[in-house]
Chain A
C-alpha cells in the first residue's frame, strides 16, 4: 500500500473508533429523548464528570482503570435515578427538560473547573503499557495502528448498545417502555409502573455515561469544556439515527466521525466540527422530502 492509502485507511479506522465512543455517549441521550421525553444535554456533561472521577480514582486512589467502574457505575446510576425522580415528581415537560439540562450543562462546566481546575489533565503517564502502546490490526489492515483505549471504546459500544437494542426489542422492560411512551395512561392500566420504569431507564442511561467517561479518561486529555465540542456530534447522531434508537445513533456517529476525520486529513481540521451540523441541517431540510412525514410524528402519543 502507498503511504497515502495507509493514511486514509488509518484515518477511517480512527474515525470509526472515535465514532463508537460518541455512539456510546449518544446511547443515553437518544433513549431518554426518544422514549422518556427528556432532552438531556446534561448527559454529555455527566460523561465528562465520569471521566474526571475515573481520573481521580486511578491517579489518586490508585485503582485499576476497569475497577473504577465498580464505583462510578452504581453511583451514577443512583444520580440518574434521583434526577429523573425529580423530573417525574414535578411533571417536567420536554421543553422545560431541555432548559433545565441546558442549565445543568453550563453549571457542570463551572463545577468541574472548580473541582479539578481548568488545566488539562491526562492519565497517560500513570497508565500501564498495555493501555498506551499502539497495536497493529490483523491482516489485511496490518499497517493500521490503533490505541487500546480505542478498542475499549469499541467493546463498550458493542456491549452497551447491543444489550440496549436487544432489551428495547425483546424484553418486558423494553416493551413496557415503548408502551409507556406511546400511551402512558393505557400502559399503566396494563401493569406498567410509570415512575419506576422512567427512573430505572434514566439510571441506566447515567450508568452508561460512567462507562463512556472511563473510556474518555483513558483516551484523551481532559478539560472542562470538552462537552461543548461533543454536544454537536452526540445530538446530531441521536437525531440522524432516529430518536430512541441507539443502534441508529451509533451508525450515525461512526459515519460522521469518519467523514469528519477524512475532511481533516484533506482540508483544514479546524473546519471539521461544522461537518456534523451540516449533515443535521441537510437532514432536517431534506427529511420531509425523503420520508414524507415530520420528525415529530415519530414520537407522538396516540
Chain B
C-alpha cells in the first residue's frame, strides 16, 4: 500500500529525516514510534505530500508521490488525523465532516462515509450544528477522526492520536481504531504512547533523530530491551 525508499527530508540546512525506508502492506496496522522530536510528524507530513522529500521515493498503491499535489491526496485514498487534531475550529461539526469529502474523488461517497462515522461516533450525530472549536479534546479527536474517515480512505494516517487526551479516552480511541482496521482500512499510526500503539499493530518501526533504528513485528518489538528501557520505562 505505502512504501518509502531511502527518503531524506530537510528544512533548509537542517536534515530532519535520513534514509528512511519502510512499508505499510494493505490491510495491516503499522506503528511508527519514537520520542518527541524524533521526526514522526515530519514523516507523516511527507507521506501526505505536505513536504517534498529531498531524496528517495514514496509510493502509494504504486503511484509515486512526486507527481501528486498535496490537494490530491484524497484521490489516492489517504486520510489524515493530524497531530493536535487541527479541526477547523470556527466551523460546525457537520462542515468539518463535509471537509473530509471535499475532494471531487471522495464527494460521491459522502453519505455512506458519514453514516459509517456516525455509527463509530454516535455523539457526532447529535452535535452536528455545534462549533467544533467549542468541544472537549476527546470530542475534537472524534471530529478529526471522522473528518479523515468520511472520504472512506484506504490508508488512514494518524499522528499522535493520544496526545493530550485523558487515559480513559485514549483507551476508547484505540478501540475505535481497531474497529476501523477491522473494516479493512490500512493504518499507519505515529505515536509516543509506544505500548498502546504496538498493542494494536502487526508491525512497528522505531524512529530516532530522523533515522529508523529498529523494526519488527509489534509483539517482538515490545520485548526488545531498547524499546523497554527507552520508551516503556523499564
Contacts and interface: CB of A to CB of B under 8 A. Distances in A.
User: Does a CB–CB distance below 8 Å link A and B in the complex?
Assistant: yes
Interface of A: 172, 175-176, 178-179, 182-183, 185-194, 302
A172 B88 contact: no
A186 B102 contact: no
A193 B69 CA distance: 9
Nearest to A185: B50
Given A175-B99, A182-B90, 15 more contacts: A176-B99, A176-B102, A183-B88, A186-B80, A189-B70, A189-B71, A189-B80, A190-B74, A190-B102, A190-B147, A191-B73, A191-B75, A194-B71, A302-B84, A302-B87
Among B90, B104, B106, find the residue whose CB has the most chain A CB atoms closer than 10 A. B90
Contact of A175 (B48, B86, B98, B151): B98
Contact of B86 (A172, A186, A194): A186
30 contacts: A172-B102, A175-B91, A175-B95, A175-B99, A176-B99, A176-B102, A178-B95, A179-B88, A179-B99, A182-B89, A183-B86, A185-B86, A186-B82, A187-B88, A187-B102, A189-B70, A189-B74, A189-B82, A190-B74, A190-B99, A190-B100, A191-B72, A191-B74, A191-B75, A191-B105, A193-B71, A194-B71, A302-B86, A302-B88, A302-B89
Q: Is the interface of A mostly helix, strand, loop or mixed?
A: helix
A61 B122 CA distance: 64
B49 interface: yes
Contacts of A185: 50, 86
A191 B148 CA distance: 12
A20 to B, nearest CB: 28
A192 B102 contact: yes
Contacts of B73: 189, 191
A37 to B, nearest CB: 15
A193 B71 CA distance: 6
A193 B90 CA distance: 20
A172 B110 CA distance: 13
Contact of B48 (A182, A189, A192): A189
B74 to A, nearest CB: 5
Interface string B80-118: 101010111111000100111011111000000000000
Given A175-B98, A185-B50, A190 B91 contact: no
Contacts of A172: 102
Contacts of B50: 185, 188-189
Contacts of A179: 88, 91, 99, 102
A302 B82 CA distance: 12
A172 B72 CA distance: 16
A175 B91 CA distance: 9
A90 to B, nearest CB: 19
B82 A178 contact: no
A189 B49 contact: yes
Contacts of B70: 188-189
B233 to A, nearest CB: 32
A175 B73 CA distance: 18
Contacts of A182: 88-91
Most buried by B among A178, A182, A185: A182
B222 to A, nearest CB: 31
Contacts of B151: 190
A186 B106 CA distance: 16
Interface string B130-151: 0001000000000000010001
Contacts of B88: 178-179, 182-183, 186-187, 302
Nearest to A186: B86
B161 to A, nearest CB: 15
Nearest to B69: A193
A188 B102 contact: no
Contacts of B91: 175, 178-179, 182
Contacts of B49: 189
A193 B50 CA distance: 13
Contacts of A192: 71, 102
Q: Which 6 A-B pairs have the closest CB atoms?
A: A191-B103, A191-B102, A182-B88, A188-B70, A191-B74, A186-B86
